[in-house]
Amino acid sequence: MADLKSNFLGISSPNPYWLASAPPTDKEYNVRRAFEAGWGGVVWKTLGAEGPPVVNVNGPRYGAIYGADRRLLGLNNIELITDRPLEVNLEEMARVKADYPDRALIASIMVPCEEAAWKAILPRVAETGADGIELNFGCPHGMSERGMGSAVGQVPEYIEMVTRWCKQYYDRPVIVKLTPNITDVRKPAAAARNGGADAVSLINTINSITSVNLDTFSPEPSIDGKGSHGGYCGPAVKPIALSMVSEIARAEATHGMSISGIGGVTTWRDAAEFISLGCGNVQVCTAAMTYGFKIIDELTAGLSEWMDEKGYTSIDEVIGRAVPNVTDWQYLNLNYIAKAKIDQDQCIKCGRCFAACEDTSHQAISISDDRVFEVIDEECVACNLCVDVCPVDGCISMVQMDVGEIDPRTGKTVEPQYANWTTHPNNPMAKAAE
C-alpha cells in the first residue's frame, strides 16, 4: 500500500485530502465528523474580525448545474464567511485540534485590509494550536463589496502587503488563497511569494449566475425575486483550476512554490491530476457537500491503488510529474499525426460521432446503410470531437501514425523529427531552422 501521508509546509496529515474552507468546516460538529470519517485535514470556515459576525441571507444560498440524471456538475453559493462569533470558532478549533493532533487544522482568515486588524486576530488564532493560516483573498461575493475577499485578491500589491503582515505577526505557515476572477493568476501568486507566503491555494470560486427563473426573471438562487452572482465550484470548474495551477507551477516567478489544489476534486483521479500538476495536497468541498464525508474512503483508496499500480510509494514522488509536459501551443509537435479509429465491436451505432463530425467538423466519418460508421482518413484531422461525444468509453481512439507513413489527408510523409509552429514556414515570425 502506497503511503498517503502528506507533509505540506511541514504540516502533517494522514492523507493529502483537506476539506476546503467552506460550509462543511463551519463548526466543531461537522469537523469532528469529517475527522472521524478519515479526512486528512480541514481549513476551518473563514473567520472574520472580532465583533458582531456577518449575517447570511435567509433564503437559498446555493444554485446548481446538472448533468444527466440530475448529477450535480456545478454549484454556486452566496454564503459569506462564518456567521458565528469569533470566540466560539476559536474555542472549537482549539478543542478539535487537541483531540486530533495528527490532523491538519488550518484557520482561514478574512479581516479588513488594515495592519491592526491582522495584528489583532493572528495571536488569537495562534493560541488555538492551528497548524497554519489561509488568507481568504478569493471570496467573490458579499465580502468583496466590503473591500475583502477577491477585492484583495485582485490587487497583487494588497496581497503582498497583507501576506507580509501575516508573516510578521504569525510564526506558522501562511497559505494565500487565490481568486480565479482575474486575468493572469501568476501575478497574485507572485505577489504572495514576494510577501513571504509559504504556499498558495487555488482556485477559490468563480463569479457566476447559475440560471434565470423564467417565470420571475430573477437570477437563481433567488432571494425575494432578486439574485446576485455567487461563487461557482464543483466538477465543472476543475479544468479552469488545473490550468491556473499549471500556470503557477511552471511560471518562472512562482515555479517551485507550494500549491494546495482546489476546484472540483471529486474522485481520486482528480486529486492525482492536481498533484501531478504541482500541488502538494488538495482541498475538497463540493464533492463532500454532494455526497457526504464518506467519499474520503474512495478518495484515499483510489489514490493509493493508483500509486501502487504505478509504483509510487509517496505523494512526493507524484508532485509535479506533469508540469514539464505543460507547454505553450507554439511548442506542440506539428509532426505528430493521428487518426481517429472506431472499434466496430464496441460501437453501438448511435451515430453521434457522425453528427458531430458531419455537422460541425470535418466530414471525416461515413455512415453506411446498415449504420456502420467509419473514419475517412483523407478528411480526419484527429480533432478528437468524435471521441469526446461517443457515449462508449474506449470505442473511438486516436491512433498515432507511424513515421514514414503517408497522411492521406495531406499526402505528406510523417516525419520523424519534432517540429513546431515557431519554425513552420507558414509562420511569418518563423525563426530559421538551425
Partner 1 sequence: MAQGQMAPGIVSGRLSSDELTSNFTDLHPPLAPHEAAVAADRCYFCYDAPCVTACPTDIDIPLFIRQIQAAQPQAAARTIFDQNILGGMCARVCPTETLCEEACVRETAEGKPVEIGRLQRYATDTLMAAGEHPFDRAAPTSKSVAVIGAGPAGLACAHRLAMLGHDVVIHESKPKAGGLNEYGIAAYKSTNDFAQAEIDWLLKIGGIAIETGSALGDGISLDGLVQNYDAVFLSIGLAGVNALRAQGADKDGVRHAVDFISDVRQADELAKLPVGRNVVVIGGGMTAVDAAVKSKLLGAEHVTIAYRRGRDAMGASRYEQDLASSQGVRILTNVQPVAVHGNGSAAEIELEYTTSAGGSLTGTGETVRVPADQILKAIGQTLEGAPEGLELDGNKIAVTGAGRTSVTGVWAGGDCAAGGEDLTVTAVAEGRDAAMDIHANLTT
Site residues (CB under 8 A) for partner 1?
68-70, 348-352, 354-355, 367, 371, 391-392
Residue 254's alpha-carbon distances to 16, 20, 362, in angstroms, are 22, 22, 40
Q: Which residues contact 324 (CB under 8 A, 6 or more apart)?
A: none
Phi, psi angle pair for 45, to nearest 5°: -50, 135
Task: State in angstroms the smallest separation of the CB of 369 from partner 1.
Answer: 11
Cβ distance to partner 1 smaller for residue 370 or 402? 370
Q: How far is the CB of 25 from partner 1 (least distance, A)?
A: 32
Q: Supply the minimum distance, in Å, between the C-beta of residue 235 and partner 1.
A: 17
Locate 277 and state its grid cell.
500538476
Q: Using the 8-state DSSP alphabet, how is residue 226 labeled?
A: B
What are the Cα distances from residue 105, in Å, to 24, 342, 385?
Answer: 13, 50, 44
d(CA 266, CA 285): 9
Q: How far is the CB of 241 from partner 1 (least distance, A)?
A: 27
CB of 229 to partner 1, least distance (A): 24
Nearer to partner 1, 240 or 367 (CB): 367
Q: State the alpha helices, DSSP H only, in 222-361.
A: 238-250, 268-276, 286-291, 296-310, 352-360
Instruction: Pick between residue 93 and residue 390 the one whose CB is nearest to partner 1.
Output: 390
Residue with cell 444554485: 63
Task: For the CB of residue 350, give the shortest distance to partner 1 in the complex, in Å.
Answer: 4
Contact by Cβ (8 Å): 275, 255: no
- What is the number of residues in the chain? 434
Instruction: Provide, rounded to whole angstroms, the least separation between the CB of residue 103 and partner 1.
Output: 39
Cβ nearer to partner 1, comparing 368 with 417: 368
Residue closer to partner 1 (CB basis): 171 or 215: 215
Q: Residue 332, class by beta-carbon neighbours within 10 Å (0-12 exposed, 13-18 middle, 19+ buried)?
A: exposed
Given the residues 139, 166, 380, 386, select the one marked as catalytic: 139
Which residues, 6 or more positions from 84, have their beta carbon under 8 angstroms from its beta carbon? 26, 27, 53
Name the grid cell of 344: 466496430
Euclidean distance between CA atoms 114 and 128, whole angstroms:
23
- Cβ closest to partner 1, residue 116 vs residue 392: 392
Nearer of residues 190 and 375 to partner 1, judged by Cβ: 375
**Closest alpha carbon to 76 in 221, 264, 239:** 221
CA distance 231 to 210: 10
For the bound state, the minimum distance from the C-beta of residue 203 to partner 1, rounded and expressed in Å, comes to 29
CA–CA distance, 158 with 165 (Å, rounded to integer): 11
Q: For residues 291 and 171, what is the distance between their CA atoms, to the nearest angstrom?
A: 36
Residue 42, Cβ neighbours under 10 Å: how many? 28
Type of residue found at 269 = R
Phi/psi of residue 229, nearest 5 degrees: -65, 145
Query: Does 386 qualify as catalytic in the annotation?
Result: no
Phi-psi map region of 196: left, alpha, beta (phi>0 left; psi -120 to 50 alpha):
left
Q: Which residues are catalytic?
A: 139
